[in-house]
Structure 1
Amino acid sequence: MAERQGLRAESCHFTLQGAPFRLLGGSIHYFRVPRAYWRDRLLKMRACGINTLSTYIPWNLHEPEKGLFMFKEHLDLKAFVSLAQELGLWVILRPGPYICAEWDLGGLPSWLLRDKDMKLRTTYSGFTSAVNSYFDNLIPRVAPLQFSNGGPIIAVQVENEYGSYSKDDQYMKYIKEALLSRGVTELLLTSDNREGLRCGGVDGVLKTINLQKLSYGAMQSLADLQPEKPLLVMEYWSGWFDVWGELHHIFPAEEMIAVVTELLERGASLNLYMFHGGTSFGFMSGAVDFGTYKPQTSSYDYDAPLSECGDYTAKYHLLRDLLQNYNSEPLPEPPPLQGRQAYEAVLVSQYMSLWDALQYAERPFKSEDPISMENLHVHNGNGQSYGYTLYETTILSGGSLNSRNSIRDRALVFVDRKLIGILDYRKQELVLPAGKDARTLSLLVENCGRVNYGEALDAQHKGLVGDIALNHTPLKGLAVHCLDMMPSFLNCVHSGQWNPMMETTGCPGFFQGNLRVDGEPRDTFIKLPGWTKGVVFVNGHNLGRYWCIGPQKDLYLPGPWLKSGNNQIVVFEEQRAAGKIVFAENPEQGRIIDVSKHPFCTII
């Protein structure tokens, strides 16, 4: 039997199975889409004229604790790749180990940071031993799905945008060999922006470029580096991500189509990042820090051709019209959209203060000095990864409380459980009221998302990362509570003693209501007018963060996460609850609340 010829890059044009091949790709992340909707999103992709799916693989989801590997249910990567093949799509895998993706720590697990000498994305032995263990579990699961074995995987990416980091000249060679030695046989490629092209590559691996607009001779730079090689824009940015407190990003459809048209006319291949962005459910959204820390929103709509909830956009229709010209067969009809519903508003009926809920958390950890959440002795020695951490100590006086920039990322400060103010990277000092007796000082610190790109990766410890001083004296003798909002804790809270909701109910706390669904559940968007900042859980699913500063104004609630009958909604609100949860068929984007009119809406 003749050997199957996979994707080849041996001339100016790709070949697949020995025939010329134009790669028309699109990115969808299985971990940002409910599994029940994988088929729907991939069918919509195929109907648009896309022939190749690309997806990142998030290490921090697949190995949340060192040595604990998860590849089932919504993390069943094999099922996702196999479904793509069933629907007629080729696949490019982007296994990292670093993926960026506006994902917490760029997909790297936070337990790596427990090693005080850790040097991420280098050949430091503590990092490579962890990568080796991860790849030992990951690669054998996907290797059988390669083209050479009859599967859809035609290419695998070596790391991600390393030219923008480039701290170890042996690292990319190590990652390449780590893939090859475990059975990766398909075309290898790298992915960099123009500035990173020269130092992000590795011998024998195809270079590709990331961009949004054709300027400064970017494509020519790629061609000059690789004469007689096909041109691939591995990330053609169809939109952009959002950060809290800034405008919702829009990239006009006409501009996107004009660039895509020119790239195709030049003979290039491309992959749209994103074709469908989806949602960074839970606490998984990342952050950027180019001198100023900016956490990213839970919505990863990205202004992509398919919206966050899977709607067709103007970009989709224009793109489909264009790509029809590059498909030899008529495109399938786009599937019908899922119905959505604006359910009746839910009145919050029950309440439990954070202080009452502490009894359901793990026993507090005692520490003489401040300690980061990653270094807490919880979760089988892996530390705390996400959510909130409460630090408490006894104070004997009032005066000046100075964070010394040791809070990551935002802290509500209480004296005897009364909110005094907020400390973050901008505001580092508060005046505590005087008092005669010993009082309890509490700092509820939130990890708002670890940086996912840039030089600051190694410095992403969260919680208290150094001394906090009261009147220039460092605080000592801390009781530290892990409040990562994991199911084990939330289940205990749910079965605990709740109080009836009253207008005078204070925060922070948990607020519970019941959504009644008659008939087949449908997608919806949750809106929280009058609330300030927190997290929403529906039937145990963490939908993500909300924050009144915008630009995200709603949380996407997929219909498959609802059930006919009663549905439990729990809101953890930090500062001010309104008592009502409302629903909408469509999201509202692009506006920011005037912070000057909302004193509770402190921007981080």
Structure 2
Amino acid sequence: MIPSCFGAGTLINAINVVSGTRSFSIDYKNNCFQKDGKPFQYVSGSIHYSRVPHYYWKDRLLKMYMTGLNAVQTYVPWNFHEEKQGVYNFSGDRDLEHFLDLANQTGLLVILRPGPYICAEWEMGGLPAWLLQKPNIVLRSADTDYLEAVNTWMAVLLPKIKRWLYTNGGNIISVQVENEYGSYYKCDFNYMRHLRTLFQFFLGENTVLFTTDGNTDKEMRCGTLEGMYATIDFGTDTNVSQAFSRQRRFEPRGPLVNSEFYTGWLDHWGDQHAQVDTQKVSSMLGEMLSLGASVNMYMFEGGTNYGYWNGADHDNSFRSVVTSYDYNAPLSEAGDPTEKLLAIQDTIRKYRDIPVGPMPPASPKMAYGFVTLTKVGKLSDLLDTVSPQGPLVSHYPLSFEDMKQYYGFMLYRTKLPSDLPEETPLISPLNGVHDRAYVSVNGVFQGLLARDTTLVMNVTGKQGDLMDILVENMGRVNFGSKINDYKGLLSSLILGKDVLTDWQIFPLDIDEVITSGWPQAGQRPSPTVPITGPSDGPAFYHGILAPNGLAWDTFLKLSDWTKGQVWINGVNLGRYWPKMGPQQTLYVPGPLLSPTQPNNLTILELERAPPHTRVLFMDRPQLSTTANKT
């Protein structure tokens, strides 16, 4: 292997006070990066600003700096900033420039990964779902519809980035183009050439652009392109020398770079909680640093898939990513230092000076105890509230994308075409339920259909009875060839011998309604039948966490609840599914809570609430229990 310009123990610090022109480049002659004319090697960690509330960004970045990192790596999720086409949001938790500024203030350089595709186990790999309104669009290719959308987005994003480039006085030292493109089936070099030209146009031809790909020849061949430095990613199950030898076949000269060194791994619902051995992580990190390689640890803090932002995979079947993105990372989901962090710090200390001073402590946690909830009502009885625009009428079912509602839930209503005194099969013949459908007749829950796993269920009722089918988007596929992941009822359902037609389709604006103050603001309708207790099927519940003068981090446990969504003070914490596991608690950042005012807790339970409709606020997470999957 060609040596780098570093020997052991020569890791160069990131932030130097320099006079004259700031510069960052690749030194191909000496096989390293150069910063301000001097050899430079980074040790970095991934943190996704979209998965960490903005009021905790500074805390997390400081902990990364005190560990000994000199850089951080972050993705820019396109759909996080442009949920609706042409409407851009860069405020609050989406304030990318504020995140870059905080990193700069902390003394951390930035390796930016602006996509347009990012994977990241994020909804649709960061691509906005409105792209799917073009039914024949070929994502991640030179398809003209796709490139037109990419051009428009990058014309908004990249000018914001330019002022933060290191050479312009900021802290971004390199910019990734696309992400692991060699893993995608298209292998479209015209697409990659287009992106390279686009990035160079907005950021300048001297900006260090790079690609990242997996540790195989095919991935490196299809994901790399002249003019963008080819880096590789791999974890602790890989031989370091062999992996870097593969990078050398595609980049004979220049720095060795592992852009994603896996400190942990993700969880899907139903998985065992992923863990990666601390000793293996610290040992391999030391091996790479001793070779002079630049390394980014993925993840350093994972954070949380709030709301509906989790992604999914589809190998043999659809598998949704859990709400927690703890990732078994050196900083926990709540940003707490772990033994893995201390081991990594000890390794880095052998190669550079660690900043002087204490590691910031874990955030204080509070076990607030039990909260009892009362039933607001069945979802189907609250449609005037949660679907204020009312239904669209269609002979055949329409997808989420057709309805321009991209996330969350949508309700499909039709009438039974005939009497069904005996159990009659309701069939999804083309596996068209994407992803999970909760079926009720005249308000009585009858069961569910689920993508790839449950394509038939039985229904009874009388001709003319209302059948409600609440469909849940469980997150779009974020990796591989199936990222064109449409949601809703994508094909007709068959009931007995009848193809169901004549639908009322209700787009549900649940998040907006809850954010606006429902149900505690007195907007609930007066039910004609007294609500006496829990029942099966989709229903809302509401409770109050009383203030106690503190607003500390906590963890919400929903023992014996089945599956659903949780909001606290109008903020969507994400999905719960304790019966599937492994995640049993939802992380609640303290700043979401009021120390002096009642804290409103709203739950949409989709299947069955427990007899005692209460939840527990704990002072520690439970992420690794795979419960009974009935």
Normalised-by-shorter TM-score class: over 0.9
1:457 aligns with 483
CA contact (8 A) 1:524 1:585 kept: yes
For 1:67, the equivalent position in structure 2 comes to 86
Which residue in 2 is equivalent to 1:515?
545
Cα distance in structure 2, aligned partners of 1:25 and 1:504: 49
Q: Tell me what 2:397 maps to.
A: 370
Q: Distance in 1 between matches of 2:410 and 2:27?
A: 50
Q: CA RMSD in A?
A: 1.6
Measured at CA, do residues 164 and 591 of structure 1 come closer, stay the same or move farther in structure 2, by a change above 3 Å? same
Cα 1:77/1:221, change in 2 over 3 Å: same
Partner of 2:23: 5
Partner of 1:581 in structure 2? 615
Q: 2:627 pairs with 578, 588, 593, which one?
A: 593
Q: Deviations over 1:324-374 (max 9, x none)?
A: 122245444211221010002111134222022201112111111111011
- Map Cα deviations across residues 259-291 of structure 1 (whole Å, 9 max, x no partner): 112111222110001000000100100000111
CA distance in 2, matches of 1:411, 1:49: 48
Q: Does 1:175 align with 2:195?
A: yes
2:526 corresponds to 1:526: no
Matched, 1:431 2:431: no
3-state SS in 1 of match to 2:154: helix
TM-aligned CA distance change 1:536 to 1:489, over 3 Å: closer
Q: Is the 8 A contact 1:49 1:331 kept in 2?
A: no
Give how far 1:166 is off. Answer: 4.7
Q: Which residue of 1 aligns with 2:223?
A: 200
Q: Are 2:367 and 1:342 equivalent residues in the alignment?
A: yes
Q: Does 2:602 match 1:570?
A: yes
Q: Which residue of 2 aligns with 1:327?
A: 352
Paired amino acid for 2:439: V
In structure 1, what is the Cα distance between the partners aligned to 2:360 and 2:257? 29
**Aligned with residue 388 of structure 1, among 409, 419, 423:** 409
Distance 1:107 1:330, change over 3 A: closer
For the pair 1:134 / 2:153, whether they are aligned, the reply is yes
Counterparts of 1:354 and 1:470, CA distance in 2: 23
**2: CA distance between counterparts of 1:301 and 1:200?**
28
Q: Which residue of structure 1 aligns with residue 11 of structure 2?
A: none
Offset, 1:488 = 3.7
Q: SS of 1:486's equivalent?
A: helix
Cα deviation per residue 1:45-100 (whole Å; 9 max; x = unaligned)? 00001101110001001011110001111111011001101110000110000000
Q: Displacement, 1:23?
A: 0.9
In structure 1, distance between residues paired with 2:531 and 2:556? 20
For 2:425, the equivalent position in structure 1 comes to 400
1:11-50 matches, within 5 Å, as: 11-50=30-69
Q: Tell me which of 82, 100, 112 is aligned to 2:101.
A: 82
2:582 pairs with one of 551, 557, 561? 551
Residues 413-422 or 543-552, more deviating? 413-422
Distance 2:312 2:76 in 1: 18
Distance 1:232 1:295 in 2: 31
> Is the alpha carbon distance of 1:170 and 1:332 closer, same or farther for their aligned partners in structure 2, counting shifts above 3 Å?
farther
Counterpart in 2 of 1:215? Answer: 239
Question: What letter corresponds to residue 21 of structure 2 in structure 1?
Answer: E
Contact kept? 1:242, 1:296, Cα under 8 Å = yes
| Distance in 1, Cα, partners of 2:361 & 2:457 | 55
Calculate percent identity across the aligned residue pairs.
Answer: 38
Structure 2 CA distance, aligned partners of 1:38 and 1:64? 22
Q: Distance in 1 between matches of 2:549 and 2:515?
A: 28
Distance (Å, rounded) in 2 between the aligned partners of 1:492 and 1:522: 23
Deviations 1:98-134 (A, max 9, x none): 0000000000000000101111111111111111111
Identify the residue that residue 6 of structure 2 maps to in structure 1: none
Q: 1 CA distance for matches of 2:513 and 2:26?
A: 49
Q: How many residues align?
A: 588
Counterpart of 2:540 in 1: which secondary structure? strand
Bigger mean CA deviation after superposition, 578-587 or 538-547: 578-587
The aligned residue for residue 379 of structure 1 is none
1:341 to 1:489, Cα distance in 2 relative to 1, 3 A: closer
- In the TM superposition, what whole-angstrom CA distance separates every residue of 1:462-483 from its partner, at most 9, and x where no partner exists? 0011111122432111001112
Matches within 5 A, 1:300-319: 300-319=325-344
When residues 501 and 581 of structure 1 are mapped into structure 2, their CA distance, relative to the original with a 3 A threshold, is: farther
Query: Is the 8 Å Cα contact of residues 24 and 271 (structure 1) preserved in structure 2?
Result: yes
Query: Aligned match of 2:249 in 215, 219, 224?
Result: 224
Distance 1:332 1:15, change over 3 A: farther
Q: 1:386·1:484 contact (CA, 8 Å) conserved in 2?
A: no
Q: Could you tell me which residue of structure 1 aligns to residue 272 of structure 2?
A: 247
Look up the SS of the partner of 2:546 in the other structure: strand
Q: Secondary structure at the match of 2:24?
A: coil
| 1:235 and 1:273 in contact (8 A); partners too | yes
